[in-house]
Amino acid sequence: MAIRELSPREASQRLAQGATLIDVREDHERELGMAEGARGIPRAELEDAPHLHVPDRDTELLLICQSGGRSMLAAECLQRLGYARVASVRGGSAMWQAEGLPFTRPAAQVDEDFHARYSRHMKLPEIGAKGQRRLEAASVLVLGAGGLGSPLAFYLAAAGVGHLRIADDDTVDRSNLQRQILHVDADVGMPKVDSAETRLSALNPRVQVEAVAERASSGNIDRLLEGVDVVVDGADNFAARYLLNDACVKHAKPLVYGAVHRFEGQVGVFDAGRQRGVAPCYRCLFPEPPPPEAAPNCSEVGVLGVLPGVIGLLQATEAIKLLLGLGDPLAGRILHFDALAMRFRETRLSPDPDCPVCAPGKPFPGYIDYAAFCAG
């Protein structure tokens, strides 16, 4: 039996005569308002257990969504389940509003910019409005506004992370522009954090960008980590990585690691501070730094310009997953990327039970002279 379709005006008349109108859109979609008199029940929830919401199968049901497609599918499902008096509202809420029919909005003022800016996130059931507000309430430390920091900061800002603390004491050099996309030619000579603040604020003025023109050190690292939820490593030297790792273990902050070299890069998550004995830290991977000649930096051996973009985007993905509690983070795994072969491979990493920093029950040993440690 074909599903009846009613115009919004016809549905409004049936509603006044006692029919039940159900808005089957998701919660975040209904936050902008819905047809007056409608009950909000997400389609999946209604289809899974309609008897919990409408016990009497003889009830006259009118289903409405945004444009009419989902309500028709829901009506077909309910009809198969024995609801004989079910209809779909043609054109959905959009047509209901266009025809000037009564439409209710939440009592609180709706943040139109929030809903428009993040609408594609909020269409994902795994995120929704609740998850997006969680991102907006979050704080992330990005150490470095260079090759890795540029793409990851761009995407964290675009995603709506509410507070980005970016620490870097360097200035923009023309050689940076081949890969450090936060900066433009006119920024040469400017502090990188100032250039980053300008670009990120232009992209998303809702994000608070805290520019810290300092090099991370034992003296300021505790302050840099204060109040942040996730730390992302965009550093380009081993001394900074060991310092960041030790501080994240001390303060129980998840650390998203990334590194690039010529045509290859790697990404991982070190979460030993919150998961002692379960997740490894950076020292479990590299108990000792390699000799300087074995790990030259980009200024010495060069780097493919797009490579930090790939690795930085993967880091941003992991940071967002950690903030939202989504998916399977790269904790205990290192993802390797070979740009020339266009191939990924994965290495499993276990926590070191004798790690001097993250071994269970071991007190924090204190910060060391990381530059001397890495110099051998």
Domain 122-375 has CATH 3.40.50.720: yes
Predicted confidence band at 292 (pLDDT cuts at 50, 70, 90)? low
Q: What percent of the chain has pLDDT over 90?
A: 85
Q: What is the C-alpha to C-alpha distance for residues 73 and 88, in angstroms, rounded to an integer?
A: 9
Which pLDDT value is given to residue 298? 63
Which pLDDT value is given to residue 296? 61
Least confident of 1-5, 9-13, 242-246, 342-346: 1-5
What mean pLDDT value characterizes the chain? 93
Q: What is the pLDDT of residues 12-33, one digit of tens each?
A: 999 999 999 999 998 878 877 8
Predicted confidence band at 299 (pLDDT cuts at 50, 70, 90)? low
Q: What is the C-alpha to C-alpha distance for residues 50 and 27, in angstroms, rounded to an integer?
A: 17
- pLDDT of residue 279 exceeding 60: yes
Q: What is the C-alpha to C-alpha distance for residues 41 and 24, in angstroms, rounded to an integer?
A: 5
Written out in words, the top-level CATH class of the domain with range 4-110 is: alpha beta
Q: What is the C-alpha to C-alpha distance for residues 312 and 154, in angstroms, rounded to an integer?
A: 10
Q: What percent of the chain has pLDDT over 70?
A: 96
Q: Which helix (H) or strand (E) holds 173?
A: none
Q: Which two tokens stand for residue 76?
A: 């077909």
Q: What is the pLDDT of residues 358-371, one digit of tens each?
A: 999 999 999 999 98
Q: What is the pLDDT of residues 119-177, one digit of tens each?
A: 889 888 789 888 999 999 999 999 999 999 999 999 999 999 999 999 999 999 999 99
Which pTM does this prediction carry? Answer: 0.82
User: Cα–chain-centroid distance for residue 234?
Assistant: 17
Domain layout of the chain by residue ranges: 4-110, 122-375
Q: Tell me the angle at which helices 192-203 and 149-159 cross, rounded to the nearest 10 degrees.
A: 30
Which pLDDT value is given to residue 48? 93
- For residues 85 and 60, the answer to whether their CB atoms sit within 8 Å is yes
Q: What is the C-alpha to C-alpha distance for residues 295 and 238, in angstroms, rounded to an integer?
A: 9
Q: Which two tokens stand for residue 73?
A: 């599918």
- For residues 230 and 252, the answer to whether their CB atoms sit within 8 Å is no
Question: What is the average per-residue pLDDT within 184-206?
Answer: 97
Question: What is the average per-residue pLDDT within 309-337?
Answer: 97
Which pLDDT value is given to residue 7? 96
Which pLDDT value is given to residue 76? 96
Predicted confidence band at 288 (pLDDT cuts at 50, 70, 90)? confident
Which pLDDT value is given to residue 294? 56
Predicted confidence band at 289 (pLDDT cuts at 50, 70, 90)? confident
Predicted confidence band at 290 (pLDDT cuts at 50, 70, 90)? confident
Which pLDDT value is given to residue 119? 87
Q: What is the C-alpha to C-alpha distance for residues 252 and 274, in angstroms, rounded to an integer?
A: 5
Q: What is the C-alpha to C-alpha distance for residues 229 and 250, in angstroms, rounded to an integer?
A: 14
- pLDDT of residue 293 exceeding 80: no
Which pLDDT value is given to residue 343? 97
Question: What is the average per-residue pLDDT within 268-281?
Answer: 95
- pLDDT of residue 78 exceeding 60: yes
Q: What is the C-alpha to C-alpha distance for residues 123 and 118, in angstroms, rounded to an integer?
A: 9
Which pLDDT value is given to residue 317? 98
